[in-house]
Amino acid sequence: MKLLTQSLRGRLPQLGATDGQKDPIALVKFFTPWNSWTWFVTEFDGEDILFGLVIGFERELGNISLSELEAVAGPAGLRIERDLHFQPTPLSQCR
């Protein structure tokens, strides 16, 4: 599965574009099917760096490397996936 399609690349705001917004919208959700790590993406630099909410050991906002997400291989060759049914959601509602 391609994590970030051309269509999604074009829809994500530029990195820094949502600074100052009270509750930015996550347009993309990635997840690991073998544990509970989840990434809700709000911005993209057009190359490799995404920004959004990461839920793993902690809940935090930060930069995410698309190439690193694509390189992760889990148990039995599982990969990080994009939630195909995810609808744009304010970050405050992402759990």
Give the pLDDT of residue 5. Answer: 95
Per-residue pLDDT reduced to its tens digit, 45-75: 999 999 999 999 999 999 999 999 999 999 9
Q: What is the pLDDT of residue 54?
A: 98
Q: Locate the domains of the chain by residue range.
A: 6-93
Question: Is the torsion defined by CA of 46, 7, 84, 73 positive or negative?
Answer: negative
* pLDDT at position 16: 96
Please report the pLDDT score of residue 8 as a whole number: 96
| Closest C-alpha among 38, 59, 39, 46 to residue 15 | 46
pLDDT of residue 9: 96
